[in-house]
Amino acid sequence: MARMCYYHQTTEAANSCAQCGVPICNNCIQLVGPVPACRNCAPALHARQQQMVASGANTGAPMQQGAYPPQGAPPQNGGYGAPPSYPQGSGYTAPSYQTAPEHGGNIALGMLAGLGIGIVGSIIVMKILFLTGFGLAYLYIGVGYGVGFGIHKFTGRGGTALAALSVVIMMIALLVGHLVFANDVLQKEIASDPTLAGISLMDVIPMIPSMFSPMHWICIAIGLYSCWRAMEQQGE
């Protein structure tokens, strides 16, 4: 069964990262010399290569060919995340390796992070509207991008599937923010007229949409699109 790229789950892997061993497609391969690396490990491998070059220049020892596995070669030990073998005397010190991280845990943390960012951002926007009487709905654009960024920060992934999931997460966060606003309106009405003490949040919710201007809903739509793009572009 073909392995799929760690960063693009619908693309077949063409190689494995020499540092962490994750499978990577042609679009993700970053060559450090002849060594294939993923986007996360390339800087460390590049620094290690520079140290090796400097060491060879200082000692006068020639750089030997074949010190690195050729492009397209899988890890020579044959395992996912296993370190490749290097010839003795090549001057290359193999880095420490670890198995590829589990996607499930990262996605769960990403969803929680995105939901937290979305809920906090939505509540802040709605509190500003309730306390000042005018809204800063354009802040929803930043909230949407923040949700996408938070999810990507923990998952290290993107693409259409996660973009759709991030939009669902933001919609839940928006619902929480608007419920908080509805509760604030309810408490204000009860405080101003004690005879309304018998009404509930469910009585107030149907009136909430009419309290917002069209720009409010336009900014929410743009915020949802920003959330989508923040995730989708990570898979490009």
What is the model's pLDDT at position 78?
A: 37
What is the model's pLDDT at position 57?
A: 52
What is the model's pLDDT at position 58?
A: 54
pTM of the model as a whole:
0.54
Query: What distances in angstroms separate CA 19 from CA 25, 86, 145, 220, one per listed residue?
Result: 15, 13, 31, 42
What is the model's pLDDT at position 162?
A: 84
DSSP character at residue 4? B
What is the model's pLDDT at position 177?
A: 92
* Three-state DSSP class for residue 86: coil
| Tokens 């290690």 belong to residue | 48
Digitized pLDDT (tens) for each residue of the chain, 236 residues in all: 678 888 888 888 888 888 888 888 888 888 887 888 888 888 888 888 788 777 765 554 444 444 444 444 444 433 334 444 444 444 444 444 444 444 444 778 888 888 999 999 999 999 988 888 776 788 888 898 889 888 888 887 778 888 888 999 999 999 999 999 999 988 988 888 888 778 888 888 888 888 888 888 999 999 999 888 878 776 55
What is the model's pLDDT at position 173?
A: 93
What whole-number distance in Å separates Cα of residue 156 and Cα of residue 150? 10
What whole-number distance in Å separates Cα of residue 51 and Cα of residue 48? 5
Count of other CB atoms within 10 angstroms of residue 233: 13
What is the model's pLDDT at position 107?
A: 79
Contact 125, 137 (CB under 8 A): yes
* Three-state DSSP class for residue 150: helix
What is the number of alpha carbons within 13 Å of residue 61 lying toward its C-beta? 13
Sign of the C-alpha dihedral computed for residues 228, 148, 110 and 39 taken in this order: positive
Q: Retrieve residue 3's tokens.
A: 């392995």
Specify the pairing of strand 23-24 against strand 15-16: antiparallel
